[in-house]
Amino acid sequence: MTDNAQRPRPPPNRRRDKVQLSCDPCRQRKLKCDRQHPCGACTRRGLTNSCNYATTPSAATPVAPRTSTSLHGRLAELESLVVTLMKGQSLPDPHTPISPRPTNSLPSADVVFSNTLGPKKSSDEAESPADPGTLNLRNSGTSYVQSVHWEAILTQIRGLKDDLVIDSKPPLGSHLFYGPNRHATRYEILTAVPPRPAVDRLMALHFDSYIVTPYIIHGRKFLREYENFWKDPSAALIAWVGLLFSMLYIAALLQIFTIDLTDGRAESLKVECLSMKDVFREKAVQCLHLARYTTGGPYILETLIMILTGECILLKDSATDGWLLISMILHLAMRMGYHRDPCHFPGITPFETEMRRRIWTTLLQLDLSLSLEMGLPRSATDKHIDTKQPSNLRDCDFDEDTTEMPPPRPETEWTPILPLIARGRLITALGLICEVNTDIHPPSHEEVTKIDALLGDVHKHAIPPVLRWETMPHPITDSPNLVVQRVSVETTYYKSRILLYRRALTSSQPALRQSRERDRDRESVRICLESALKILSFQEMLHEESQPFGRLCQLRWKVTHIFNQDVLLATSVLCLYLQDVDKFELPETPGQNLSSLSSSSPRAEEVRQQLTISHKIWLQMSTASAEAGKVAKALGIVLGNAEESPSVEDGVGSVDYDFLTDFDTVPLHDFGVGFNNQNQYFPSGLYSPLTYFDNVLEPRLP
């Protein structure tokens, strides 16, 4: 009776909360729920892990500020009481402020909790005798206490306080860095695997995507492991289960990208796919934690690459997180010896040798791509690496029991691994470009031309004929994936030339430079413009073929997510040129006599026409992408300024905007990693084009 009298009573005018009987997913979709766990509706949709029921009405609705404050205050008081008891002091009078005073005895835990939290729990709700207790990891040492110890109780109270913090907007970024990292047991993870029919559909979509799986997963080996998993899930390595969840995570993302926005169910389908995506990613990370991924082991690198691909290549959550994550993965791979060729280690089988080479080449390309995007040094350098390139083989050519590898297939024959080999040959030249771009000392003209010659030689002679754009047969004879891979190789080459020669676009006071230096700058600008125009011509072609009934219609998500960054870079280069065309004094041909060109020059007109086409493409894409809307608006400003006429669609008129001057006035910290101490006019947009267009859209100061 005393306990009940001390419990706070609700106000008499409070409305009785309606009990929620349906699970959360059925309640959101307004479906009939059979109240099973999991319910039938969630089981059919493969959302068994998301089938949760609200335990109390307040758990399903936001807590009012006044109630939240009161609850936190009561928890703070309870925490203070437990701290007092830990110090061996008596309880204060409940009607006076908490003030610890010495005592010779400690009351029992039952008395404390009956006076503070209300009636004791029933026998069904009592704490399990198998409670593991609390393990505290500190810099000073590690300590373990049983669950009935005061320190364990205090830890639970503080954990409850953390759970009460309401964050309506979870932070973006890598789940490994910012995720909740909630611990899960092996049993919880295995029960979260959807039914096999749902998994089969998702895995089929994953393997059809040709994202990164052919480069790091051996198809036949994985299928054997997949069948064995369904026969006995408990026997599978937890790291392999993490790989499975990471592949399901990619598949859920692909489902989101392929949703038809004109479908009336598009919104509900998107919500369902987003829920699946979050669950799969969380389980993949939990598997990595259980497998102690920092110690390495089988399937660890493959799982991490899948998560990186989803978060930073497809979702593009954060370029910084991607750069940090690939650095961590690379260092882990080095700890596992992937940077040294397996031929040095006789214990490695031929099958493992080939797969290690494939995984390492994939990591090098991801490292280089993310480093160039950030404008920061890459993590892997050539002087520490001797791993050879993988062979042009199909998965059916070798297996785990192979004792001697067969000879590679001719490079006139396309295989799923051939694009990886082709891009791998560009790594040497691309790596040098990354190094000169991040060096604190600008490279000499001789160094630049030497690297360009190496890049051109690789592009002309080392790229397999089947992946060369110039030698491409009629498009109707090739698969859409092959067309996209050819474009990827070409845009990589042209992007590399832009990054190599981009300093000439931002050289200050070119009129004061020597005649020889001006000639070099003009040639560098010509190379940048030709490369940028070529990339935008690919954008036009890909956009046309990605429309309904186009050859690349089913791959429009890949076209958007893979090529946008290259297109943004090319667009920013052309905008810089168009803003101050007279300064560059470009000849129409390299041997023509130099003369000052006006904005009506043939080259400027060609640039303006290509930007106008690109502007229309971004406008069409802006209905489904905020990024595209931002670029379209910025291009409208640039074209309106260049043509001295109002821009289209958004109503923004002609704006007097000088790119170089305005970049120079931006505070140093706003330039981020793109700022170069050797050239105060180097805009960060040449590494992060979206930052470039952010500056275009900045409100003009009077």
Tens of pLDDT, residue by residue over 222-258, are 999 999 999 999 999 999 999 999 999 999 988 887 7
pLDDT at 113 over 90: no
Domain ranges of the chain: 21-54, 430-585+602-641
- Going by C-beta distance under 8 Å and a sequence separation of 6 or more, which residues neighbour residue 160? 75
Cβ neighbours of 603 (radius 10 Å): 19
- How does pLDDT run across 447-468, given as a tens digit for each residue? 999 999 999 999 999 999 888 8
Helix then strand count (H, E) for the chain reads 29, 4
Query: What confidence tier does 184 reach under pLDDT thresholds 50, 70, 90?
Result: confident
Of the candidates 329, 305, 309, 306, the one whose C-alpha atom is nearest the C-alpha of residue 317 is: 309
Query: What confidence tier does 631 reach under pLDDT thresholds 50, 70, 90?
Result: confident
Q: Which fold has domain 21-54?
A: CD2-Gal4 (4.10.240)
Q: Residue 114 has what pLDDT?
A: 38
Contact (Cβ atoms closer than 8 angstroms) between residue 612 and residue 548 = no
Enumerate the H helices of 171-237 as residue ranges.
175-178, 186-191, 196-209, 213-216, 219-231
Instruction: Specify the 3-state DSSP secondary structure of 135.
Output: strand
Of the candidates 532, 503, 504, the one whose C-alpha atom is nearest the C-alpha of residue 518 is: 504
The HSE-up count of residue 67 (CA atoms within 13 Å, CB side) is 13
Q: Which residue has the higher pLDDT, 562 or 396?
A: 396
Q: What is the DSSP annotation of 634-648?
A: HHHHHHHHHHTSPPS
Cβ neighbours of 164 (radius 10 Å): 12
Q: What angle do CA 687, 693, 694 make, to 5 degrees?
A: 105
SS3 per-residue string spanning 331-386: HHHHHCCCCCCHHHCCCCCHHHHHHHHHHHHHHHHHHHHHHHHHCCCCCCCHHHCC
- How does pLDDT run across 494-525, given as a tens digit for each residue? 999 998 988 887 765 554 456 677 778 888 88
- How does pLDDT run across 127-173, given as a tens digit for each residue? 444 444 444 444 444 344 444 455 556 665 655 555 454 443 444 55
Contact (Cβ atoms closer than 8 angstroms) between residue 575 and residue 638 = yes
- How does pLDDT run across 569-615, given as a tens digit for each residue? 899 889 888 877 766 654 444 455 444 444 556 788 899 999 999 99
Question: What six digits make up the tokens of 549?
Answer: 């009934």
| Whole-number percent of the chain with pLDDT over 70 | 64
Enumerate the H helices of 394-514 as residue ranges.
418-425, 427-438, 445-457, 480-501
Taking the C-alpha atoms of residue 659 and residue 504, their distance in angstroms, rounded to an integer, is: 15
Q: Residue 329 has what pLDDT?
A: 95
Q: Which long-range contacts (CB under 8 A, 24 or more apart) does 674-682 make?
A: 674/375, 677/440, 678/440, 678/441, 678/442, 679/442, 679/503, 679/506, 679/507, 679/508, 680/508, 681/506, 681/507, 681/508, 682/503, 682/506
Taking the C-alpha atoms of residue 325 and residue 355, their distance in angstroms, rounded to an integer, is: 21
Contact (Cβ atoms closer than 8 angstroms) between residue 288 and residue 249 = no
Cα distances (Å, whole numbers) of residue 112 to 85, 90, 147, 456:
9, 11, 16, 78
- Torsions phi, psi for 180 (to 5 deg): -65, -25
Lowest mean pLDDT among 10-24, 39-53, 584-598: 584-598
Q: Residue 410 has what pLDDT?
A: 94
Q: Residue 100 has what pLDDT?
A: 43
pLDDT at 180 over 80: no
Question: What six digits make up the tokens of 640?
Answer: 């309106």
Contact (Cβ atoms closer than 8 angstroms) between residue 301 and residue 366 = no
